[in-house]
Structure 1
Amino acid sequence: MHPEQAEPARIVVLISGSGSNFQAIAEACKSKEIDGEIIGVISNRPGVMGLDRAKQLDIPCSVVDHTEYSSREEFDGKLIHEIEQYGPDLVVLAGFMRILTPDFVRRFKGRLLNIHPSLLPKYKGLHTHKRAMEAGDKEHGVTVHFVSEDLDGGPNIIQAVVPILDDDSEASLKTRVQQQEHVIYPIAVKWFVEGRITMIKGDAYFDSEALPETGLQLNVN
């Protein structure tokens, strides 16, 4: 993707739940903050709120129900087929709760983004807010990264660093982190469609400069 490209970038979003990050990106596209268009939303679970959001926004949506497939490989094969119907420039994982096969990741390598609620490489996997608090960390946050074949791996693009307050509960920390998800994910998508971020030989680059392991950091008071 390059700024001189006349057509808006074609974006497909994969969801498993409420779709709040999908909506944040959709709103940024609608306001022209992102020179892109979400052309399809795919959920691996039927009946989730994210599908309702897509319908309200008149964005085509479909379900590839993982429970109907006998293996991860079979499910991912169907998912690849469904995505490629749209011919996307970018595939965005927005709360998509499936571990993807290496074949899937290779198919969309360099144009596959994910968001994870921790300061990666810390706390890969689930229950990140609880784990950060139990470890006595003073800060937590959220990371947008390119997807590699490692779970919650791939080079980091941008992180929002959120302080853990003395009176925080797991719920209050989660809420504040989610607020930052809706800030940094549209930023990362904007950078991608403008050609400012790229993945080269497993590393992330911003304006042709290699990014640090953390990616760019946004500190939140």
Structure 2
Amino acid sequence: MKVAIFASGNGTNFDAIANSQELKEAGLKIEILVCDQPNAPVISKAKDLKIPVFVNELKNYPSRKLYEQKIIEKLASYDLDYIFLAGYMKVVTSELLNRYPNKIINIHPSLLPKFSGLDAIQRAFDSSEKETGVTIHYIDEGVDTGPVIRQEKIAILPSDSVDSLEERIHQKEHEMYIKVILDLIKK
């Protein structure tokens, strides 16, 4: 399975996927990392693994359409099966969705539809909720509204800090994304 991963930040999910021996043995090939932040730590992680990197900043384009068209142009030489969003902090629009229908998957740190969008962990922590979780879903033109592939719950413990909750959520994300990708490879 040939994939691109889109990320904007530290790249913990990218790192978990790229370094999963199980995924490598199953045939996962990360063809390229697409990043919208030129100083994101995920870039050095990809370069260390000899994975090509394409940095593309929205501010360099007069419209989101042209920004995404440049990404499509860059990805055209790869015969991609899927695009995995792993902390990619841009809303994907119809340009990419139409080019890769039902092929773009996102991971979100909440039990969608609760706490969609930004700062989901902080908002869940600040709420009176007893649990939050992780959702992996296909994306559509909404924000965190696409069809759910898998969800798992995580208790918000009385002893939690935002950092401890975030750490547990990230650990669950890494486990879940690998399982979902393995299931996709087996299809």
8 Å CA contact retained: 2:4, 2:80: yes
Q: Distance in 2 between matches of 1:189 and 1:30?
A: 10
Equivalent position amino acid for 2:16 in 1: A
Q: Distance in 2 between matches of 1:29 and 1:185?
A: 14
8 Å CA contact retained: 2:139, 2:146: yes
Q: Distance in 2 between matches of 1:117 and 1:165?
A: 16
**Cα offsets for 1:58-79 (capped at 9, x unmatched):** 1111211222111111111111
What is the 5 A alignment of 1:16-27?
Answer: 16-27=8-19
What is the 5 A alignment of 1:1-221?
Answer: 9-28=1-20, 32-195=24-187
TM-score (normalised: structure 1): 0.80
Structure 1, unpaired ranges of 5+? 1-8, 196-221
Give SS of 2:95's match: helix
Give SS of 2:24's match: coil
Q: Distance in 1 between matches of 2:42 and 2:126?
A: 31
8 Å CA contact retained: 2:23, 2:182: no
Equivalent position amino acid for 1:146 in 2: Y
Give SS of 1:32's match: helix
**Cα offsets for 1:25-72 (capped at 9, x unmatched):** 112257635421101111111121111011111111121122211111
Report how far residue 84 of structure 1 moved.
Answer: 2.1
Equivalent position amino acid for 2:134 in 1: V
Equivalent position amino acid for 1:154 in 2: G
Over 3 Å counting, the alpha-carbon distance change for 1:29 and 1:39 in structure 2 is: farther
Equivalent position amino acid for 1:35 in 2: G
Q: What percentage of residue pairs aligned between the two structures are identical?
A: 36
Structure 2, unpaired ranges of 5+? none
8 Å CA contact retained: 1:33, 1:190: no
CA RMSD of aligned residues (A): 1.5
User: Which structure has the highest helix share of the two?
Assistant: 2
8 Å CA contact retained: 2:17, 2:23: no
User: Which portions of structure 1, spanning 4 or more consecutive aligned residues, are displaced by more than 6 angstroms?
Assistant: none
